[in-house]
Amino acid sequence: MLYSKFLLPTMKNEPSDMDSTSQKLMARSGMIRKVSSGLFYYLPYFNMLLRKVSYEIRRSMDAMHCNEMKFPILVSQEILEKTGRWTAFGKEMFSLKDRNGNGYAISPTNEEYATLVAKMFIKSYNDLPFSVYQIQQKHRDEIRPRNGVIRAREFTMKDAYSFHATEDEAISYYQKMKQEYTNLFTRLGLKTFAVKADSGAMGGNLCEEFMAVADEGETPLAFCDNCGYAANLEVVPVTNTYVEQNGFKGRYKKVITERAHTVKELMDMLQMPATSFVKSMVYMADDKPVVALVRGDRQVNEVKLKNVLKCNVLELATVKDIEKIGSVCGFVGPVGMREDIPIFADYEIMQMQNFVVGGNEKDIHLLDVNVKDFSCKWVDLRFAEQGDVCPICGKPLKTAMGTELGHIFVLGQKYTKSLDATFIDNQGKTQTLYGGCYGIGLERVVASIIDQHHDEKGLVLPTVVAPFKVDVIVVDTKNEAQMETATMLYEKLENAGIPVLFDDRKERVGVKFNDFELVGIPIKVVCGRDVTQGMVEVGVRETGTVEKVDIQHVVHTIQNLVKKG
Ligand SMILES: [Zn+2]
């Protein structure tokens, strides 16, 4: 590829419309430009990287005997209602109506179509296991698109679906897929781990997320160095070692806390630490009010609360909702709460004494409250933190941030039952199929490669994913000898099957070196003054090393460097 003809608009300065290191680097290295909130132009260099990732994904899917196909992007409301997902996906799903008024969703994922394909082609147990996948654009109406292409409204996903005669077979295929994902991410130069996650709107029993550790990742994780346990923080159980305090009852007194609504404001006013407060949060669980209590410095883990309540929709109550239950926003508390409102308290509160809660009246809090002053159900409701004990081995947990790259599920019969996908078993009986699904977000893979492979000058792409392995740089394009040598090397390398970016631009050589470092091409070949002595310089991006090489040996030298990765 001639740089002079290639759309690779690098930027010297940090773009102001990108909000993380990987996204800034993607814009600076000429990969993306923002169109509007959550929508991006993918420029050629980014597309080339996505193609590399797709190629490696296809290798892995081939290894799993998975059939590549394409499902329609539009899914009818009727089909999604059969599986309950028209409502389960809620506002994140883009939907539209055709000219006859029929409802469609722009498919967020394709369990329904995959199940219908299985239903069409699987006749008997001889056809099992059966799996299909596609690599397709997906759309989600994100509330707050952020982090560039990582949480965008349009993205590329590999979604695979498998079908089995029994749950055991589904689990065994899932385990093989998990291993294949590990192989794939390792090949792509990524450090990842599989963590347990909540299955959310997808349904199903067994599921794990593949996380790439990233300083600016958006998913908090907990892991244990001792036993290898790793999980999304939202599902990490906090081991309950608390004993309910016998404590006092009825000792509390009212205190006027005008203008203090938040724990922070109360801390300042009452000169007490956050650990002396109990936060009371009102939620609407399928439109019914519930109160959740956590210590003042903790956050309610809504995934845990949702699982406790077994509800479909959990939302924070509005000011009006709170008034309806006879309380006041900012002053909610468990003491004197209407008896028909269920209160769920985090175990940790069991061991607290003489704490502060809202008084359910404007500008009123209660001091010296104890657990005997109200009735509640004790549950695990908070997020685990660094130093909490590992649920498997009891050693201290560590926390980190991660970017989710993929998600794998054993779905059981959730979709096959509602869409009536069956097969004839070896006894001649009709049985319902078991399913699994396996996703990967391609933009996230590229962003994570950049996250894990860059330095202060730009990208340091691993050779396996680099779209160009070599940058042939001409120091002075007006110098005929230099141009001749560079053109000859460019052609020789391309003929040897090594993709080259030939920097033939009429730019200063400093600009060319900066761009080489910014876009992260693994190797550079510099054709300068020494070409008259039959020599060029070969440099390696990762190590910064440069050596003089005889022009006759350049192709051989580079073949060796590429092989080494
Ligand atoms: Zn452990």
Domains and CATH numbers, the chain: 34-73+108-236+399-450 (3.30.930.10), 253-379 (3.90.960.10), 460-564 (3.40.50.800)
Q: At what angle do helices 480-495 and 554-564 cross, to 10 degrees?
A: 50
Is residue 58 within 8 Å of 67, Cβ to Cβ?
no
- Pairing of the two strands 288-295 and 278-285: antiparallel
Please choose, from the candidates 355, 363, 366, 327, the residue with its C-alpha nearest in 3D space to the C-alpha of residue 343: 327
Q: Which residues of the chain have pLDDT under 70?
A: 198-205, 246
By three-state DSSP, how is residue 343 classified?
Answer: strand
In the beta sheet, which residues pair with residue 387?
none
By three-state DSSP, how is residue 508 classified?
Answer: coil
| CA 389 from centroid of its chain's CA atoms | 25
Give 230 Cα–ligand 1 centroid separation in angstroms.
9
**The pair of three-digit structure tokens given for residue 357, joined into one six-digit string:** 């809660």
CA-based radius of gyration for the chain: 29
Enter the pTM of the model. Answer: 0.80
What are the φ/ψ torsions at residue 29 (nearest 5 degrees)?
Answer: -90, 20
Give 296 Cα–ligand 1 centroid separation in angstroms.
28
Measured CA to CA, the distance from residue 155 to residue 40 in angstroms comes to 9
Q: What is the enclosing helix (H) or strand (E) of 291?
A: strand 288-295
Give 212 Cα–ligand 1 centroid separation in angstroms.
20
* DSSP letter, residue 534: T
pLDDT score at 204: 52
pLDDT score at 68: 98
How far lies 191's CA from each of 75, 188, 251, 331, 450, in Å?
Answer: 35, 9, 55, 46, 12
Measured CA to CA, the distance from residue 502 to residue 489 in angstroms comes to 9
> What is the end-to-end Cα distance of the chain in Å, rounded?
21
- Pairing of the two strands 219-223 and 398-412: antiparallel
Average pLDDT of the residues of the chain = 93
* DSSP letter, residue 148: G
**The pair of three-digit structure tokens given for residue 150, joined into one six-digit string:** 């990582």
Give 530 Cα–ligand 1 centroid separation in angstroms.
59
pLDDT score at 277: 96
Please choose, from the candidates 220, 65, 201, the residue with its C-alpha nearest in 3D space to the C-alpha of residue 131: 65
Give 404 Cα–ligand 1 centroid separation in angstroms.
22
Give 224 Cα–ligand 1 centroid separation in angstroms.
5
Give 221 Cα–ligand 1 centroid separation in angstroms.
14
Measured CA to CA, the distance from residue 337 to residue 328 in angstroms comes to 11
Give 553 Cα–ligand 1 centroid separation in angstroms.
53
pLDDT tens per residue, range 9-22: 999 998 888 888 99
Give 391 Cα–ligand 1 centroid separation in angstroms.
7
Give 397 Cα–ligand 1 centroid separation in angstroms.
7
Give 78 Cα–ligand 1 centroid separation in angstroms.
46
Give 239 Cα–ligand 1 centroid separation in angstroms.
12
- DSSP string over 176-212: HHHHHHHHHHHHTT--EEEEE---GGG--SEEEEEEE
The residues, any chain, with a CB within 8 Å of residue 144's CB and separated by 6 or more, are: 151
In the beta sheet, which residues pair with residue 206?
410
Q: How many residues does this entry show for the chain?
A: 565
How far lies 403's CA from each of 207, 210, 511, in Å?
Answer: 17, 8, 33
Give 225 Cα–ligand 1 centroid separation in angstroms.
7
Give 412 Cα–ligand 1 centroid separation in angstroms.
28
Sign, CA dihedral 463-464-465-471, equals: positive
Half-sphere exposure of 6 (CA within 13 A, CB side): 21
Is residue 328 within 8 Å of 374, Cβ to Cβ?
no
| CA 245 from centroid of its chain's CA atoms | 41
Measured CA to CA, the distance from residue 500 to residue 519 in angstroms comes to 13
